Amino acid sequence: MKAFIRTFGCQMNEYDSERIAYYLKNEGYSLSESLDEAEVIIFNTCAVRQKAKNRLYGHIGSLKRLKQKDPGRIICVGGCTAQNLKDTIQKDFPFVDIVFGTYNISEIGQLISKKKRVKQAICSIKEQGFDYRLEQSERPLPFKAYLPIISGCNNFCSYCIVPFVRGRERSLSADDIINEACRLSRKGVLDITLLGQNVNSYGNDLGSDIDFSSLLERVSRIGIERVRFMTSHPKDFSQRLVRVIRDNDNVVNHIHLPLQSGSDKVLEKMNRKYTLRHYLSVVDAIKSNICNCSITTDIIVGFPGEEEEDFEKTLDAVKKIRFSRAFTFIYSPREGTAAAEMEELVSPKLKKDWFGKLVSLQNRITYEENKKMEGKQLKALVECKSPKDDSLLQGRLYDNTIVLFASPEAVIGKMVDVKVKKAKAFYLIGELVGIH
């Protein structure tokens, strides 16, 4: 029996898909890359941006044809949009068999069995609950793993739907996390990402002394080759965390630190609870303590009330900080959030114009930063053949930059040394010089 899973959105969603894959495998399904041959089709959805939702609707719509061809096929929609728009999905797409929420993943096997017995569509959405069982996930690459440490968010940034679809922060117990990290290490995992919407809030709800920096230190001591984490909130990024990254070689020198805007006025309206000055002080602490630390970010343009001078402040901040990469977004209102009620909307034309300017500035910086890598010898974890050119292999540097190089496939899953020969706009070309 074959199942097809398509994931939209963030790393947390990717992890949820790994959990879905685990439960499907327990039911006797194997994963397929082909929609056509799959008996169970699962879309694990994201609600963060309107564009993603629109695209999702197109994708779900296109499944109708498959369902008509073979009505025995089971079509499931899960994740954040399912959580948020269960009624609309059921109404607009009556051929969808199962709608399930972000807290119902461990039930997916039972839901499919039930659907085989009953005629009507099933909707299973828990508003609360926490069904994480850490060891129950199926990793696409055996040597890389996500490890969730906290789920949900209490921050309520005014544009963001996450607190509404993922609920309040809940930290997993430190002992469970450490046990799981040890198990993954024994299984040969070389690269582990501690995941959470705001990892820096880890432990606040546990009523114990443990905070994120001490958890990170404990995980790093297990000795996994690379330990990374995301996402960090600038308001909660502590000096102690900077020291833990500096003092533990296997905690990678890469921090994803969403700036969102370079204007204090906009940051305040976004309810981000920091100023640009504070953000720059965190960047300064990182850069002055951690050698060659790569910083990546998220930025939104066109937030309600944003004016030319605010946007200029974002450009100035980007020029000053020189992010290795930035994920850039055009603001889109999400129903139910505070920003969706705000006035002074930025015109679509201006939003597009600003977006274009920001992207071209950041692309230039990314290329210039990549250029600085030329001639350096760096460690890479080899993941797969390059999807761009299958005569080359694809590896990842400490900060997830892609490096392509020629080598026999036997090094996939290993750490290698590569000498960077040439920088491209978004990746590097290298030469294999050693295998660990």
For ligand 5AD, the binding residues (CB under 6 A) are 48-49, 159-160, 258, 260, 298, 300, 329, 331-332, 334
Single out the residue of 13, 44, 45, 198 in contact with ligand SF4 (rule: CB under 6 A): 198
Please state, in angstroms and rounded to a whole number, the distance separating the CA atoms of residues 163 and 413.
36
Single out the residue of 163, 234, 262, 430 in contact with ligand SF4 (rule: CB under 6 A): 163
Interaction partner, residue 332 (ligand SF4, ligand 5AD, none; CB < 5-8 Å by kind) = ligand 5AD
- Closer CB to ligand SF4, 327 or 367, in the complex: 327
Beta carbons of 322 and 283 less than 8 angstroms apart: no
Interaction partner, residue 197 (ligand SF4, ligand 5AD, none; CB < 5-8 Å by kind) = ligand SF4
- Closer CB to ligand SF4, 232 or 401, in the complex: 232
User: Judged by CB under 6 A, does residue 156 bind ligand SF4?
Assistant: yes
User: Judged by CB under 6 A, does residue 158 bind ligand SF4?
Assistant: no
Beta carbons of 120 and 86 less than 8 angstroms apart: no
Both ends of the chain: CA-CA distance in Å?
Answer: 39
User: In the bound complex, what is the minimum distance in angstroms from residue 112's beta carbon to ligand SF4?
Assistant: 30
Please state, in angstroms and rounded to a whole number, the distance separating the CA atoms of residues 328 and 297.
8
- Closer CB to ligand 5AD, 261 or 394, in the complex: 261
What is the side-by-side strand order in the sheet with 254-256?
A: 254-256, 294-301, 325-330
Phi and psi angles of residue 80, each rounded to the nearest 5 degrees, phi first: -65, -40
Phi and psi angles of residue 62, each rounded to the nearest 5 degrees, phi first: -70, -15
Q: Which of 358, 280, 279, 353 is nearest to 326 (CA)?
A: 358
Please state, in angstroms and rounded to a whole number, the distance separating the CA atoms of residues 92 and 213.
46
Q: Which of 337, 340, 345, 354 is nearest to 299 (CA)?
A: 354
Interaction partner, residue 9 (ligand 5AD, ligand SF4, none; CB < 5-8 Å by kind) = none
**In 200-322, which ranges are continuous DSSP H helix?**
212-221, 239-247, 264-269, 276-289, 308-321
Single out the residue of 7, 13, 155, 332 in contact with ligand SF4 (rule: CB under 6 A): 155
User: In the bound complex, what is the minimum distance in angstroms from residue 240's beta carbon to ligand SF4?
Assistant: 20
Residue 10: helix, strand or coil by DSSP?
coil
Interaction partner, residue 290 (ligand SF4, ligand 5AD, none; CB < 5-8 Å by kind) = none
- Closer CB to ligand 5AD, 228 or 334, in the complex: 334
User: In the bound complex, what is the minimum distance in angstroms from residue 267's beta carbon to ligand SF4?
Assistant: 12
- Closer CB to ligand SF4, 145 or 162, in the complex: 162
Enclosing H/E stretch for 391: none
- Closer CB to ligand 5AD, 313 or 334, in the complex: 334
User: In the bound complex, what is the minimum distance in angstroms from residue 299's beta carbon to ligand SF4?
Assistant: 12
Beta carbons of 351 and 50 less than 8 angstroms apart: no
Residue 340: helix, strand or coil by DSSP?
helix
DSSP E strand stretches across 276-376: 294-301, 325-330
Site string for ligand SF4, 225-254 (x = CB under 6 A): --------x---------------------
User: In the bound complex, what is the minimum distance in angstroms from residue 269's beta carbon to ligand 5AD?
Assistant: 13
Give, as ranges, the residues between 274 and 333 that touch ligand SF4 (CB under 6 A): none
- Closer CB to ligand SF4, 160 or 412, in the complex: 160
User: In the bound complex, what is the minimum distance in angstroms from residue 137's beta carbon to ligand SF4?
Assistant: 21
User: Judged by CB under 6 A, does residue 152 bind ligand SF4?
Assistant: no
β-pair type (74-79, 98-100) = parallel
Residue 156: helix, strand or coil by DSSP?
coil
Interaction partner, residue 394 (ligand 5AD, ligand SF4, none; CB < 5-8 Å by kind) = none
Beta bridge partners of 420: 430
The single residue listed with the structure tokens 């799959």 is 38
In the DSSP assignment, the letter for residue 220 is H
User: In the bound complex, what is the minimum distance in angstroms from residue 294's beta carbon to ligand SF4?
Assistant: 20
Interaction partner, residue 153 (ligand 5AD, ligand SF4, none; CB < 5-8 Å by kind) = ligand SF4
Contacts with ligand SF4: how many residues (CB under 6 A)?
10
- Closer CB to ligand 5AD, 63 or 195, in the complex: 195
In the DSSP assignment, the letter for residue 292 is T
Interaction partner, residue 155 (ligand 5AD, ligand SF4, none; CB < 5-8 Å by kind) = ligand SF4
C-alpha distances (whole Å) from 58 to each of 63, 307, 316 are 9, 33, 37
Please state, in angstroms and rounded to a whole number, the distance separating the CA atoms of residues 15 and 18.
5
Residues that bind ligand SF4 (CB under 6 A): 153, 155-157, 160, 162-163, 197-198, 233
